[in-house]
A and B are shown apart, each in its own frame.
Chain A
Amino acid sequence: MPQTIPGLHHVTAISGPPQGNVDFYVGTMLQRLVKKTVNFDAPDTYHLYYGNDRAEPGTILTFFPFVDAGPGRAGPGMASAVAYAVPPGGLDAWMMALAGAAVDFDGPAERFGERMIALTDPDGLRVELIETDRGTAGIAAADDRPVDGGFHSVTLWLDNPDGTARLLTDLFGYDSAGEDSHGAEKRYRFVAKDQGRGAVVDLVTSDARSIGRQGAGTIHHVAFRAENDEVQNAWQDTLRSQGFEVTPQIDRQYFNAIYFREPGGVLFEIATDPPGFATDEPMDTLGHDLKLPPQHEPLRAQIERVLPPITIPRRPTR
């Protein structure tokens, strides 16, 4: 039974102070704050999860907002961009809305025949919006929440794409979907078998000189989906048999996680779909309250005292 990865589960990045982050992803990108919790490994820092209204895997962008994070910079061995899927014809409304919010962007340009624009979040993370059929069926182009379709893709910046490409095709079951050159940059596309939400991984090599530095505005890790614990266990075995150092399963409250470093240097995770984000609060009020995992609950008063207050903006309707 050759197991294949269906696509991205979530992407986790680092930001500066949380308020600017919330204002941007809720107020401008119209994402739902689906979970307000803490970094389980450093509970004096928030862990904020944004996603679509149903908080589905493949729509979830999460942040560790470090108040004193220095500016980071993408470089080889790091994920350098995350892209949301916009239904065909939906980009024009987005461009107008972004301009209205005085948010700059670049484009539209074409990438593998799809129209796209690129912008940077307040901390410098590159966020792209790409018009695509993948995962956007049934979402109206003029929808007031046009990134309901979740992720289109993630871009990994690598010195040498070969090892990562083999991991994606030979183990994850992705198909190689061509390559494209733009100036000093070469882009290799890989697409998951079911072509759904978050199915695309682009590997990019570049002559541009940059030494990556983890910090505000950079992606920390990229998580792929496993349908359940059993599938995740199988991945753990497969990856170990191929010589990858894989962590034991870690309980992340809303999913179970295993981590490993892919050959190009990016931290990969495989995360289970269940139990999902409505496990400790109702779907209707996701993100309202500060949620702590059981091991940190006794420290709640202390944690609440040190976390900076944040105000969740009302999502404008367009």
Chain B
Amino acid sequence: MKNDPHAGNRILSGGAPLSRARLAMIMVHGRGGAPEDMMGLADYLGLPDIAIRAPEAAGNSWWPDSFLAPLARNEPGLSSALGVMARLSDELAEQGFGPDRTVVLGFSQGACLALEHAARAGRKLAGVAGLSGGLVGTADGDGAPQPELYNHVEKKFAYDGRLDGTPVLLGCHERDPHIPLARVRTTEKLFQDMGATVTTQIYPGAGHGVVEEEIRALRAMLNG
């Protein structure tokens, strides 16, 4: 249990029943959040034909440090969290909702997790949305700390799958204190290189939160 802190935690179900859902959406809460928050966001999106699954992090946090920190600092939380995502995807696939019928969406820390899961899984998905998030990376880098990464060292990003035909939405504030714009741009490029169709929305000023423009873009993506 110690090495897999998120295993066995609650997974909330909501939205349409799988029997008549068009898509399934895995919605991942941020640090300090709860799956109920994601259900609230799903209600607000107002899409009645999507089944929702919202996993809960142990202690409401998927990992303890910033997603920019060296990977070991966030273990075993990070690996355990990726395990939750993989198992939840497998369960949905067994019930007829393979990756091409599944959307993964997250906010903040949950966005980092959703994006990292999508990039590592490397298969076409029905959609990916990172609201105030960026890729975590697959290994620590060996460069110098960079001011544009808030004095963290750039990670390595070794993803070998393809995401052709996958719509990806990235939304972030210009000066998000948690998520450096440089990492959002790197994330955008890496997803493009994997073949995904990326829409990036950068909101002016400082901030960190779900904004109305994202809701509109999500509705467009999920209805499309």
A14 to chain B, nearest CB (A): 16
Residue pair B210, A106 in contact (C-beta under 8 Å): yes
* B108: A residues at CB distance < 8 A: 104
Q: Given A99-B177, A183-B44, A184-B44, are A92 and B208 also a contact pair (CB < 8 Å)?
A: no
Residue contact B32 to A119, C-beta cutoff 8 Å: yes
Chain B neighbourhood of A210, CB < 8 A: 36
The answer to whether B31 has its CB under 8 Å from any CB of chain A is: yes
Neighbour of B206 across the interface among A92, A103, A120, A121, CB < 8 A: A92
Q: Are B206 and A95 in contact (CB under 8 A)?
A: yes
Q: Indicate if A107 sits at the interface (CB-CB under 8 A).
A: yes
The contact of B177 among A96, A109, A122, A183, by CB within 8 Å, is A96
User: How long is the Cα–Cα vector from A124 to B29 in the complex, in angstroms?
Assistant: 13
The size bracket of the interface on A is 20 to 34
Name B207's contact: one of A103, A107, A120, A208 (CB within 8 Å): A107
List B contacts of A122 (CB < 8 A).
32, 59-60
Q: Which of A115-138 contact B (CB under 8 A)?
A: 117, 119-122, 124
Residue with the greatest number of chain B CB neighbours at <10 A, chosen from A95, A106, A124? A106
Q: Within A166-182, which residues are at the interface with B (CB < 8 Å)?
A: none
User: CB-nearest residue of chain A relative to B211?
Assistant: A109
List chain B positions with a Cβ less than 8 A from chain A. 30-34, 36, 40, 43-44, 59-60, 64-66, 108-109, 150, 176-178, 206-210
Known: A96-B177, A109-B209. 15 other contacts (CB 8 A): A73-B36, A92-B206, A98-B177, A99-B178, A100-B177, A102-B66, A104-B30, A104-B31, A104-B108, A105-B209, A107-B207, A107-B209, A108-B206, A184-B44, A208-B43
Closest 5 CB pairs of A and B: A99-B177, A104-B31, A120-B32, A106-B209, A99-B178
Q: Can you pick out 22 interface pairs between chain A and chain B where the beta carbons lie within 8 Å of each other?
A: A95-B206, A98-B177, A99-B150, A100-B177, A104-B32, A105-B208, A105-B209, A106-B208, A107-B208, A119-B32, A120-B33, A122-B59, A122-B60, A124-B32, A124-B60, A183-B43, A183-B44, A184-B44, A207-B43, A208-B40, A208-B43, A210-B36
